[in-house]
Amino acid sequence: MPGGEDSLASELFELELVGGAMERRYRKARPEVEAMPWGTLDLRSHSNEALVAARRSWTSAAFQEHRTAAVCCATLRALVEARAPLDLIAGFARFPLDEVVHVELCARMAMELGGGTELWHEPSAMCADADPALSPLLRACELVTRNFCVGEALSIPLLHGTWVRATHPLPRAVLGRIVRDEAAHGIFGWTFLDWVMPLLPPEGPELIRRTAVAAIHEVYRLWDDLRTRPPAPTSAGHALGWMGTEEYLRLAARSLRSRVLAPLAERGIQIQPRA
């Protein structure tokens, strides 16, 4: 399944299943994928422009979920190396599988709409690792703060907002499944911080603050980029599963304050939002 920019190090984003016994085990572990109402979209009610935009959006979503799977694997390793509590590690260990399921759901949504769009990426830049000079505990702090206290905590209300607006049963079912899985991802960062903060060396809270600030500035950069893009075709509606840019940005700003900045402040990490 394929969008974008070519370079010597880039590869086309494509997905496959090996099938056989491996797929049967996967389906047994996550049967909800096959239970979705696939094949129920009537594409005749949407313009070609809207369908292309939706295909591009779902392809991009599949890629972002693929990146998040890599992030989860890197974070899981950091938690093990930091000797985090076993129940904390065990709860987190399901997250990579969740993300793989989300990759397939988004990819299949694109296929339902006529096929994925071309997307090029650099596999070695799939996700940023923690600073290797840090101790195992601080490496885990860096990854959890960046990816879960900011990234996943912010994504959940945005996904929920998109789910609420989806009118067709198929994208609504797909988004609902992702929202249910991501709920646990969104609270993990705060559970981790509540465990780790009493154990941190003096420089630990400042590392968390710097990491959060950098991640939030990256969010602002993405918002600014969104504002420069042409609006999605109005004929797309919410049936295909997304929000308009302005509505998305308003919800994102509110969610950043309530789901990221406020919980950080409760833990003594003060960050002022951008005006």
Residue 2 has pLDDT above 80, yes or no: no
Looking at residue 237, its amino acid is G
pTM for this one? 0.91
Q: What is the pLDDT of residues 204-241, one digit of tens each?
A: 999 999 999 999 999 999 999 988 987 765 544 456 77
Tell me the mean pLDDT in the region 158-177.
92
Residue 173 has pLDDT above 90, yes or no: yes
Residue 46: per-residue pLDDT? 86
Using pLDDT thresholds of 50, 70 and 90, give the confidence band for residue 244. confident
Three-class SS of residue 201?
A: coil
Q: What is the pLDDT of residues 84-132, one digit of tens each?
A: 999 999 999 999 999 999 999 999 999 999 999 999 999 988 888 999 9
Residue 6: per-residue pLDDT? 43
Question: CB within 8 A of 41, min separation 6: which ones?
Answer: 112, 113, 168, 170
Question: CB within 8 A of 171, min separation 6: which ones?
Answer: 109, 239, 240, 241
In angstroms, rounded to a whole number, what is the distance separating the alpha carbons of residues 164 and 175?
9
Residue 235: per-residue pLDDT? 44
Residue 5: per-residue pLDDT? 45
Residue 145: per-residue pLDDT? 98
Tell me the mean pLDDT in the region 158-185.
92
Share of the chain above pLDDT 90, in %: 79
Question: What share of residues in the chain are helix, strand, coil (percent, to 5)?
Answer: 70, 0, 30
Tell me the mean pLDDT in the region 132-137.
96
> How buried is 58 (Cβ within 10 angstroms: 0-12 exposed, 13-18 middle, 19+ buried)?
buried
Residue 47: per-residue pLDDT? 87
Residue 274: per-residue pLDDT? 86
The mean of the pLDDT values for the chain is 91
| Domains of the chain in sequence order | 11-266 (1.10.620.20)
- Average the pLDDT over each of 26-30, 36-40, 92-96, 226-230 and give the range with the smallest value: 226-230
